[in-house]
A and B are shown apart, each in its own frame.
Chain A
Amino acid sequence: MATEIAFPDSAAKAAGAEQEFAPEKMSLSMGPSHPSTHGVLRLQMELDGEVLTKCDPIVGYLHRGDEKIAENMTYNQFVPYTDRLDYLAPLANNMAYAIAVEKLAGLEVPARCQAIRVLTAEMARISAHLMGLGAFGLDVGAWTVLVHSLNQREHLYKLFEELTGARFTTSYTRIGGVSRDVPEGWLGRVIAFCDQFEPALEETLALLTRNKIFQDRTVGVGIITKADALAYGLTGPNLRGSGVALDLRKDRPYSGYEQYEFDVPVGSKGDCYDRYLCRGEEMRQSVRIIRQIVAKFPSGDWYAKDARKIFAPPKDKILTSMEELINNFMIVTEGPQIPAGEVYFEAENPKGALGFYIVSKGGGVPWRMKIRSPSFCNLSILPKVCVGTMMSDVVTLLGSLDFVMGECDR
């Protein structure tokens, strides 16, 4: 039975030394360059002993003014900037942005293009979750997980490089299509990746799921209730870990997600362990989606052929036809011609719902573009959920929220 220890104890009181032992709050600044703040997040905390009494996250160290930049360039020129939002899943960002602009233009891309986009987005989800998992393991002291997950991520990056020409900053989509079709034999290599990834994933997850040390660090730690998660606008695995089955791929299907069968994992307690379990299961489901896409990969066009003033024609046509050359020149210099209006589109990205709110007055440049970044919203719950937790659990909590500051600060 635990003994209750009063402090200052009776001896200290008798000696009139209460003042000396009176609890004193300490302020502690963690970050912006701290290994467990995953980038440049800074937490200004107030501690009573080891327990947090206040937490003020300070963001903006990576602010690059992406929204201002977007107002000053054409729609296609902004695609590389979307890579740098959630730089662990650039392909998913590319897709979300392209669909948002296409919705504004009222443009429907062909089935093959949709399938390519969904395929790459799911691969990006796996790679982002692998990194999140590895970093989370590292935060709580499980070093091996990172080695395993980075190894698998490398396989994915090789596939990305073959498809897009870049490992990290892919800039793959264009408004109305993608930058190139899938290479010969690439789909077979994707399936080969899946075949070796599934057992490897089980092995990696087995290092954590039933690991006593990991469970002690995560079960019951950093509980986010269902009501709090909704009130603070959490999305993605963080919201589903708290028991809300909100997955935009299921609930508001886009880019042909309604054709694929997959389950949405939901947590029960909303603690760090539940969020970890959700991410692990999401990777399994992503593999399931990838296999379905490859099994019935549509033939046909990989860009919208009817989008004359939006998608630049392929190079062979530019070099052989005068009209196509002029069209290409106009698209490059003046941008894809998008009608006036406003649109808000959210895609289910690895970190949560990535939204683009685009206001257009017509022409090739948006009037206003707001990027609703899931990491920004997910972090806003910290002042609420950190109070009363131990200092060492904050590290676990940050790891389980799996945020990216490039996206948070924009």
Chain B
Amino acid sequence: MSASVDALRALKAKFPQVTDRASRDCPAVDVPTPDLVAALKSLRDEAGFDLLSDLTAIDWAEGATPRFTAVYHLYSTASHAAVRVATPCVGDDAAPAVPSVVDIWPAANWHEREAYDMFGIKFEGHPDLRRILMWDGYPYHPLRKEFPLAGIETALPDLEVAEETQAKVIPAPMVGGPFVASSGEMNLTEAEPRAKDESWNERSAKPQA
């Protein structure tokens, strides 16, 4: 415990804008967004927090300032200390943003994709920021507080799904997805997405290089 207190004391000396954050377990600090990358880098390099345990975000509901907070949990495999670092997201509700920390910990890659998927937070500098748990093309960010638990009703639901689930929401793609062959009177070789993508079959000739 004392190792993490010392680390945060050193951090506060280096970055005067950093303030203590109320916490019921490990020591925690609030870091202003512009200092985030430098502060986390200094925690990793100088205080030995080599493991990014977790990265997530909190939605404080519409109208709150800040609306979104990004939270980082760091762990040191040498001193077995843990700290929490939080930073407010900048920008408006539709497109909040924080800098990406993928360069510091590659582990942040998937966590940031998840936070983007669930909250719509843009992690600036992320090499490949796309959805991870929901499918590509899904229009909402479901962990935002205004998103209802049952989903948002759509004018054009899939009737079969709506009949089954009593919910007129966008169904997850079952047909025509990347691995499910399209239904209908189609030749299976054509319907198979691999064949469609970059191969050739008995009907279409091999593309000339």
Please give the residue numbers on chain A whose beta carbons come within 8 Å of chain B beta carbons, in ascending order: 19, 22, 27-29, 31-33, 42, 44, 58-60, 63, 65, 67-69, 72, 103-104, 106, 230-233, 244, 246, 251-252, 341-346, 353, 355, 357, 359, 367-368, 370, 372, 376-377, 379-380, 384, 409-410
Contact = CB atoms under 8 A, between A and B. Distances in A.
B53 A59 contact: no
A64 to B, nearest CB: 10
Interface string B67-102: 000010100010010101000000000000000000
Contacts of B197: 27
A387 to B, nearest CB: 14
A378 to B, nearest CB: 10
B110 interface: yes
Given A63-B134, A231-B106, A346-B53, A29 B24 contact: no
Contact of B73 (A22, A31, A103, A357): A357
Among B56, B131, B147, max chain A CB count under 10 A is at B56
B142 A377 contact: no
Contacts of B52: 233
A252 to B, nearest CB: 6
Contacts of A60: 131-135
B194 A29 contact: yes
A372 B53 contact: yes
Interface string B119-159: 00000000000011111000000110001010000000000
Given A59-B132, A380-B107, A251 B80 contact: yes
A246 to B, nearest CB: 5
Q: Is the interface of A mostly helix, strand, loop or mixed?
A: mixed
Contacts of B106: 231-232, 380, 384
Given A60-B132, A231-B107, A370-B54, 14 more contacts: A29-B178, A42-B179, A60-B134, A68-B147, A69-B149, A231-B106, A232-B106, A232-B107, A246-B77, A344-B73, A355-B53, A357-B73, A359-B58, A370-B71
A409 B134 CA distance: 10
7 contacts: A103-B25, A232-B106, A232-B107, A342-B84, A355-B73, A376-B114, A380-B106
A232 B51 CA distance: 8
Interface in B1-23: 22-23
Given A231-B106, A233-B107, A65 B24 contact: no
